[in-house]
Amino acid sequence: MRRAISVLLILMPLLVFCQGSYPEDTFRSPLDIPLILAGTFGELRSNHFHSGIDIKTQQRQGLPIYAIGEGTVTRIKISHWGYGKAIYIAHPNGYTSVYAHLQKFSPEIESYIKKVQYDKKSFEIEVFPDYGELKVAKDAIIAYSGNTGGSSGPHLHFEIRSSLSEKPTNPLLYGLEVRDATNPTFQGLYAYPLSENAVVNKSNQKIQIPFSRQKDGSYLAESVNAIGTIGFGVAAYDRQDLAANQNGLFALEQKVNGKVYTEIDFENFSFSETRYINTLIDYEHFAKYKRRIQRCFKVPRNELSIYNTIYNEGKIAVREGLSYTVEIQIKDLSGNISTLLIPVEGKQESIVNKKNSTKTPSYIIASKPNNFDLGFAKVYFPSDTFYEDFYIDLKNGQDTVTIHNNRIPAHKNFTISFDTSKIPEEEIRQAFIARLDNKRRPNYVKTYKRSGTFTTRTRNLGMYTIAKDTIAPIVRPKNFKSKQWLTNYRYLSIYIADDLSGINTYKATLNGEWLLMEYEPKTKTLTYNFDDKILDKKQCELEVVVTDNVGNSTTFTSSFYRN
Ligand SMILES: [Zn+2]
């Protein structure tokens, strides 16, 4: 009996601190520098929640990356975008660790990958080694940190997923140490009148509520007068001790008169739900002001699993003459909490700040498919493209179509088809569908061409047109000249760029044989590493063919010598 009690006493703190059952002492850190984060798990990003942590690498590349535990490599992917060079390791305890934006892999893995690249004649590859084919020990160096793919500065993107469900989990639940005694920060508070009759501070549209920081560190909002069903939203961030980066929260809780209405945390989520982030945030506000408001109430079609508690959809029914205390708490994983108190008085007031609703001839019913004919373009929205019903603003100009604006998020792809029967035959090849940005600059969108029609599938509302790209890509050497001796060179690097439709393919050969060149779109550079291949000839003939998205192509040739 005594023994049972002492076992319980030992287990108790563990049970309190780990929400799920995450092994806290199995894994080591993927780096051997202090962990400073440029991004946290669940952080609000464009159309997704961040599925890992971003670990700063001291503005450098090439830091050794360690396997966090013993395991086997199950996947290696190299792509120009997204994760760049990434490796996945499955561990015996049921979790898979993911390391992304890498500069290169360890020599053993690098030679495995180079073979695949030469076999497939492609820099971009994805391989799934057999279980046990590429084993790694805990502490083994598997790669070096970099800045590849969709990374805007050197860092390691690190994930821990459940191997079975592939759900990403919060890597900080596994005992990784990040110094953090800093409380999260509230940046903005917003009140939303939600029912037909609802009014907040004389407004029947969203309104910002001022607040101030108290001496004890808590936040107090100015008293709110309201009637009807209302909701709140906050803009907030979390910071750790050793950097100024504004990272995402771990959890958010909303209480009304002491009762928990909303409880969200970022312990895990699934990739299939991540785009529903656009129902959590106030998307229109984000599109306008680039600030993400996290709503404490749930809107229809929000299918997120991040709610531990959701009472009355997080909405507050305010009655005349009654007082309410709304308390919003934001938390990080180290237990630092900030609290915002909002006194609410049930009071009927006349509306001064009135919602202006614009009606157009076209109404979208989100649950149904919607078709629109705009003359030389047609738009087809499948059912459930949108989260809500709305009046869509459709215009056709001289040579553009405007499909509403970017303030409404689309969950699914919709189709835009242009009638191209009036475009002269000889111009068809160089023509493509372009999305015009705010400054009316054309951006290539993937264009499917059939006789008389161009089609694209997109999730971006906005202005579209048919543009033409008549100029072939630029290809020029960066670090060498033709007929040069390059015996002591480690790399060949070549600049490639395209003005309008963008680069689609590149192919390099050396003395007629396919050559692996790594493409880095951020620096517009193709790089060949002389270590890859033993050159059997002194004189080398290099040919690089670069093609843009409409098929304009440039062939660059050069010869060089090497001992
Ligand atoms: Zn990341």
Query: Which helix (H) or strand (E) covers residue 219, if one does?
Result: strand 219-221
**C-alpha 223 to ligand 1 mean position (Å):** 39
Any idea how long the chain is?
A: 563
**C-alpha 494 to ligand 1 mean position (Å):** 28
**C-alpha 28 to ligand 1 mean position (Å):** 19
Q: 3-class SS at 554?
A: strand
Report the percent of the chain where pLDDT is more than 90.
Answer: 91
Q: How confident is the model at residue 19 (pLDDT cuts 50, 70, 90)?
A: low
**C-alpha 495 to ligand 1 mean position (Å):** 27
**C-alpha 173 to ligand 1 mean position (Å):** 17
**C-alpha 52 to ligand 1 mean position (Å):** 6
Q: How much is the pLDDT for 1? A: 40
**C-alpha 39 to ligand 1 mean position (Å):** 6
**C-alpha 35 to ligand 1 mean position (Å):** 14
Q: How much is the pLDDT for 21? A: 81
Task: Give the alpha-carbon dihedral of 134, 135, 136, 142, to 10 degrees.
Answer: 0
**C-alpha 157 to ligand 1 mean position (Å):** 4
Q: How confident is the model at residue 476 (pLDDT cuts 50, 70, 90)?
A: very high
**C-alpha 246 to ligand 1 mean position (Å):** 14
**C-alpha 265 to ligand 1 mean position (Å):** 18
Q: Answer yes or no: is pLDDT of 8 > 70.
A: no
- Alpha helices for 26-134 (secondary structure H): 107-120
**C-alpha 220 to ligand 1 mean position (Å):** 34
**C-alpha 99 to ligand 1 mean position (Å):** 10
**C-alpha 287 to ligand 1 mean position (Å):** 22
**C-alpha 37 to ligand 1 mean position (Å):** 10
Task: Provide mean pLDDT across the span 379-408.
Answer: 95
**C-alpha 53 to ligand 1 mean position (Å):** 6
Residue with tokens 């609290």: 339
Task: Provide mean pLDDT across the span 518-538.
Answer: 89
Q: Who has greater pLDDT, 562 or 445?
A: 445
**C-alpha 69 to ligand 1 mean position (Å):** 21
**C-alpha 396 to ligand 1 mean position (Å):** 39
Task: Provide mean pLDDT across the span 109-131.
Answer: 97
**C-alpha 505 to ligand 1 mean position (Å):** 27
Task: Provide mean pLDDT across the span 211-217.
Answer: 96
- What CA–CA distance (Å, rounded) separates 407 from 373? 22
Q: How much is the pLDDT for 422? A: 92
Q: 3-class SS at 14?
A: helix
**C-alpha 480 to ligand 1 mean position (Å):** 35
Torsions phi, psi of 150, nearest 5? -80, 60
Q: 3-class SS at 218?
A: coil
Q: How confident is the model at residue 354 (pLDDT cuts 50, 70, 90)?
A: confident
The dihedral through the CA atoms of 203, 207, 212, 213 has a sign that is positive
**C-alpha 136 to ligand 1 mean position (Å):** 23
Q: How much is the pLDDT for 398? A: 84
**C-alpha 38 to ligand 1 mean position (Å):** 8
**C-alpha 533 to ligand 1 mean position (Å):** 33
**C-alpha 369 to ligand 1 mean position (Å):** 35
Mean pLDDT computed over every residue of the chain:
94
**C-alpha 55 to ligand 1 mean position (Å):** 8
**C-alpha 30 to ligand 1 mean position (Å):** 14
Q: Answer yes or no: is pLDDT of 537 > 80.
A: no
**C-alpha 350 to ligand 1 mean position (Å):** 47
Q: Answer yes or no: is pLDDT of 6 > 50.
A: no
DSSP states of 227-259:
EEEEEEEEEEEB--TT----B--SEEEEEETTE
**C-alpha 158 to ligand 1 mean position (Å):** 7
Q: How confident is the model at residue 353 (pLDDT cuts 50, 70, 90)?
A: confident
- What CA–CA distance (Å, rounded) separates 190 from 234? 6
**C-alpha 254 to ligand 1 mean position (Å):** 28
**C-alpha 151 to ligand 1 mean position (Å):** 8
**C-alpha 89 to ligand 1 mean position (Å):** 17
**C-alpha 54 to ligand 1 mean position (Å):** 5
**C-alpha 175 to ligand 1 mean position (Å):** 19
**C-alpha 453 to ligand 1 mean position (Å):** 39
Sequence-separated (6 or more) residues with CB below 8 Å from residue 93: 23, 26, 69
Q: How much is the pLDDT for 282? A: 98
**C-alpha 444 to ligand 1 mean position (Å):** 26
Q: How much is the pLDDT for 195? A: 96
**C-alpha 454 to ligand 1 mean position (Å):** 35
**C-alpha 186 to ligand 1 mean position (Å):** 23
- What CA–CA distance (Å, rounded) separates 189 from 220? 11
The two tokens of residue 424 are 């002269």
Sequence-separated (6 or more) residues with CB below 8 Å from residue 364: 370, 381, 386, 389, 390, 391, 392
Q: 3-class SS at 2?
A: helix
**C-alpha 97 to ligand 1 mean position (Å):** 13
**C-alpha 85 to ligand 1 mean position (Å):** 13
**C-alpha 434 to ligand 1 mean position (Å):** 29
**C-alpha 51 to ligand 1 mean position (Å):** 7
For the chain, how many helices (H) and strands (E)?
5, 48
- Give pairs for 377-383: CB < 8 Å, separation 24+: 377/401, 377/416, 377/417, 377/418, 377/419, 377/464, 378/416, 378/417, 379/403, 379/414, 379/415, 379/416, 379/417, 380/414, 380/415, 380/417, 381/410, 381/414, 382/412, 382/413, 382/414
361 by Cβ neighbours in 10 Å (0-12 / 13-18 / 19+) ranks as: exposed
Q: How confident is the model at residue 538 (pLDDT cuts 50, 70, 90)?
A: confident
pLDDT one-digit tens code per residue, 436-458: 998 999 999 999 999 999 999 99
pLDDT one-digit tens code per residue, 272-331: 999 999 999 999 999 999 999 999 999 999 999 999 999 999 999 999 999 999 999 999
Q: Answer yes or no: is pLDDT of 58 > 80.
A: yes
